[in-house]
Amino acid sequence: MKYLVTFVCGLSLLCPSASFAECVYGAKDKTRYVVLDSHTIMLKGGYGSDIIVKTFAFIYSSSEVTVLKDSFCSYDSAVLYVDGEVADANQVTKIDQ
C-alpha cells in the first residue's frame, strides 16, 4: 500500500494538468462564440472572462452552437449542442481580461 501511495503522489507531480481540471462559471451569459479551429470555440461577451472550449465534435464557421450548462469543468459531458449533437468539453480554459 505504501508503494501505491508513493506512485500516485509521484504521478500527480509529474502530470499536474491531469490532476486538476479547470472549471468555468457563467457560460450561458456569453452572447456569442468564435470558432478558433475545427474542435475549439471561444465563448465571448456578457459578464466575466472569455471561455475557450475544446471538444472532439467538429465545429465549423456555419455551425449552430448552444451552451447547455452554465458551469462546467474540463472533461464534463453534455456541455454544448453542436449542429444537433451533444458535445462534451475535453478542455476548458478561462481567458482573464
- How far is it, in rounded angstroms, from Cα 60 to Cα 77? 20
pLDDT per position as a tens digit, 50-70? 999 999 999 999 999 999 999
Query: Are 34 and 59 spatial neighbours (Cβ–Cβ below 8 Å)?
Result: no
Q: Per-residue DSSP letters for 64-94?
A: -EEE--SSEETT-SS-EEETTEEE--SEEEE
Where do the domains of the chain lie?
21-95
- pLDDT category of residue 20 using cuts at 50, 70 and 90: low
What is the pTM (predicted TM-score) of this model? Answer: 0.77
CA 90 to chain centre: 6
Position 1 pLDDT exceeds 70: no
CA 9 to chain centre: 25
- pLDDT category of residue 21 using cuts at 50, 70 and 90: confident
- How far is it, in rounded angstroms, from Cα 91 to Cα 57? 12
Nearest to 26 by CA among 10, 45, 8: 45
